[in-house]
Chains A and B, each alone.
Chain A
Amino acid sequence: DGGITQSPKYLFRKEGQNVTLSCEQNLNHDAMYWYRQDPGQGLRLIYYSQIVNDFQKGDIAEGYSVSREKKESFPLTVTSAQKNPTAFYLCASSITTGTGFNQPQHFGDGTRLSIL
């Protein structure tokens, strides 16, 4: 089945440690996104990529890094510089169009990150 796979489902980070969250999609979507969700809040955009080997910062990129070496994969690294990493991390993907109208984004099941 086509979809977006995020792993792991739960992740614990120690002080000073970098951790990487995986996101893989087999929908043949060009665009991929990373969001962070804190309790009672909406989704905030961390990074997004519209094409392989290119990505842009979102609204809260500090303390995070990404790569887009393959169309199917968009891993997110939470670095030790991110002092408050505890959150629900969501990866999404979408078709890109040349019109002014945007195709819907579809989400993976998410990764819950906590500090040990």
Chain B
Amino acid sequence: QKEVEQNSGPLSVPEGAIASLNCTYSDRGSQSFFWYRQYSGKSPELIMFIYSNGDKEDGRFTAQLNKASQYVSLLIRDSQPSDSATYLCAFTGGGNKLTFGTGTQLKVEL
């Protein structure tokens, strides 16, 4: 079993819709969870981080964490063409080492 599982996509959503990106992880000791956005040819940029079970909202973005189900998701409301990118989830189980998923490609269509 891979440490982090993400559907590679592409996930296509119409402009203005809600995009839902999902990630499952195998390490039950994981405590810190991160979502990064990566445009083609560019470096990852931090979107959200979450430590506790439940939802965390920041503007159009909501991160959801369910540690019992080992599941973290990212919701993007009112999706825009500029949101088209690859979204990487990552987690740490201890220390400062991040484990990354391979990313989900999101396409927001006009």
Contact = CB atoms under 8 A, between A and B. Distances in A.
Contacts of A102: 31-32, 92, 96, 98
A91 to B, nearest CB: 9
A48 B97 CA distance: 8
B43 A108 contact: yes
B94 interface: yes
Contacts of B31: 100-102
Contacts, number: 54
Contacts of A94: 96
A64 B5 CA distance: 28
A76 interface: no
Which size bracket describes the interface of B in this complex? 20 to 34
Interface stretch (B61-69, B75-83, B100-108): B100-108
A90 interface: yes
B43 A42 contact: no
Which size bracket describes the interface of A in this complex? 20 to 34
Nearest to A45: B97
Given A100-B31, A104-B49, A58 B97 contact: yes
Interface of A: 31, 33, 40-45, 48, 50, 58, 90, 94, 96, 100-102, 104-110
14 contacts: A48-B97, A96-B96, A100-B31, A101-B31, A101-B32, A102-B31, A102-B92, A102-B96, A104-B46, A104-B49, A105-B34, A105-B96, A105-B98, A108-B43
Given A40-B102, A58-B97, A102-B92, 15 more contacts: A40-B8, A42-B103, A43-B100, A45-B98, A90-B44, A96-B96, A100-B94, A101-B31, A102-B32, A104-B34, A105-B96, A105-B98, A107-B44, A109-B43, A110-B42
